[in-house]
Structure 1
Amino acid sequence: MSGDKKPPVLAQVAPRYLAGGGDPRWVTAPLQKAFHWQPSRVPLSPVVRLTRRDRQAELLLSPDPDDHWWTLHYTGSSTEKAWTMRFGARTPAEIVAAATDALTTGPADSTAEPMQVLEQTGWKRSVVDHQITSPDGFVTVSRHPLGALHIEVTAHDGPWASEPTARPAWRAYFSDHTPPHLAAAVLAGMVSTEPLLRDEKAMVPFLRYSVRIDRERVPAHQAEYALWDRVDRLAAHRTGTPLPPQPPSGSLPRRTR
């Protein structure tokens, strides 16, 4: 019998908004390596702070279980209002990255109104007109007249209860004046049907009860390749340098934390 250990593998998890935090480098590596945001190093601290070169935008990753982990802030200018986006600890990094990608690469040619992104994929407006709920009932998105947006994600607390209780998974808040294309990008990342890759054993137990996990596992090392392929592609977008097309199967898998 061989003593060799099996290489680590990752599970494909859906829906993506219940997949858990993932690898924070999916957000931070492109900002620093592709777009040259400057890190502020605090010795012996887990806090990560990246600042855009014009100092008008900042990303803060502060691991505080009682508060938001991710904060993306724009200080405003003579023509633009200041705004802030905050995400809870278990927000998938890929969903946070949808916001930072939209900020760094600019709006698409045609940007949908944020709530329309949800309605176009079958999410329904609730009795309260400014709220939309996911088909599985786990997500509620509230939009306020001046543009502020709240996201609340829950999950069942376990399969053993006769009536499972909804347990908070994560929350997000976008302030007034958050650019609509950033909010739309986040919501599009939430409703995407592409599964996210996670270490199943490291997932918070109550999240595992509310997700679908594909039987096919993916080698973990491929996720590392996918991360740096992502960085290269965003750098190419910034400089206009063409890159070879991605494989027909879509993006390579991603690594989890």
Structure 2
Amino acid sequence: MNEPGKPPVLAQVAPRYLADGGDPRWVTAPLQQAFRWRAAHLPLSPVVRLTRRDHQTELLLNPSPDEHWWTLRHTGADNDGKAWTMRFDARTPAEIVATATDALTTNPAVNSPADPLQVLEQAGWHRSILDHRVDSPDEFVTVSRHPLGAVHIKVTAFDGPWASEPTARPAWRAYFSDHTPPHLVAAVLAGLASPEPLLRDEKEMASFLRYSVGIARERVPAQTAEDALWARINRLTAHNTGQPLPPQPPGGPLPRRTR
């Protein structure tokens, strides 16, 4: 707990796939501000719906306890005519969801492996004998791929230190349908396997997740996360417009934005 008068601080949490949901603006703010996706007006509703300007792709954030929170859906109305869907549960770190939206908006589908699971193998994850499944070294994550292309991610965590024999408890799941572009799947898997920690307020994390992660002793000012968000928006805006990023003023953080 922070002492009175001290600025709030955040923990550096790893592995990132057990860092809980985090700030959804990491996904939604760049789509709306850098790429001008249109927001549906749903007064007094927690549902967020963003639609790409060509109306072929939409992102739905629906905080429902019984459904996937994040859904990224393509209609299949473009040249290839193939619809696809990506879904993520509530505790999926927003930074991992954002790897899909970043790949969709900034990365062309070139040099992508035909089998996205190769991304995990290159990161040192273990492929099963059956060749359709890869497990993380700590065995908290299983990624399986159906022969027709659908991909399932299952993430678990220990239920707590008080159990004589800790058991695995579901943390979150994700599902990518057939015809999901391989470069989008590969981007998510690369984000999943990244060793970089994520910044989190420990008090906001689910208690059972805190028992399965490593937390660095050094804390980071909470303002750092806000600055990183706006730096991310500025970088993606510059990418979208083809303009170079303006230099950051020396000796100070990025200015906070107001509406």
Deviation at 1:110? 2.5
TM-score normalised over the length of structure 1: 0.92
TM-superposed CA distance for 1:4, in Å, is: 5.1
1:50 corresponds to 2:56: no
> Does the C-alpha gap of structure 1 residues 208 and 245 become closer, same or farther in structure 2, counting only changes over 3 Å?
farther
Deviation at 1:78, TM superposition (A): 3.4
Q: Deviations over 1:165-222 (max 9, x none)?
A: 1000000000000000000000000110110000011110000000000000000011
Q: Equivalent residue for 1:84? A: 85
1:171-182 superposed matches below 5 A: 171-182=173-184
Q: Which residue pairs with 1:140 in the alignment?
A: 142
Instruction: After TM superposition, give the deviation of residue 147 of structure 1 in Å.
Output: 1.0
Q: Hey, what's the Cα distance between the residues in 1 that align with 2:122 and 2:169?
A: 27
Partner of 2:251: none
Write out the 4+ residue segments of structure 1 that deviate beyond 6 Å after TM superposition.
none
Cα deviation, residue 6, structure 1: 1.1
Q: 2: distance between equivalents of 1:115 and 1:181? A: 11
Q: How many Å apart are 1:245 and its aligned residue?
A: 7.8
1:220-239 equivalence runs, <5 A: 220-239=222-241
Structure 1 residue 106: Cα displacement: 2.5
Give the Cα–Cα distance (whole angstroms) in 1 for the partners of residues 208 and 53 of structure 2. 40
Is the partner of 2:203 in helix, strand or coil? helix
CA distance in 1, matches of 2:81, 2:103: 16
Q: TM-score, normalised by structure 2?
A: 0.91
What SS does structure 2 have at the residue aligned with 1:116?
helix
Paired residue total: 245
- Unpaired runs of 5+ residues, structure 1, are 247-251, 253-257
**Partner in structure 1 of residue 34 of structure 2:** 34
Q: In angstroms, what is the RMSD of aligned CA positions?
A: 1.6
Amino acid in structure 2 at the alignment position of 1:133: D
Alpha-carbon distance in structure 2 between the residues aligned to 1:22 and 1:142: 25
Deviation of 1:67 after TM superposition, in Å, equals 1.3
Report what 2:257 is aligned to: none
Name the CA distance, whole Å, in 1 between partners of 2:50 and 2:99.
Answer: 16
Whole-Å separation in 2 of the counterparts to 1:86 and 1:226: 25
Q: 1:161–1:4: structure 2 CA closer, same or farther, 3 Å change rule?
A: closer
What is aligned with 1:104? 105
The residue that corresponds to 1:119 in the other structure is 121
Aligned residue identity for 1:164: P
Deviations 1:47-98 (A, max 9, x none): 0000000000000000012210000000012324100000000000000000
Any unmatched runs of 5+ in structure 2? 249-253, 255-259
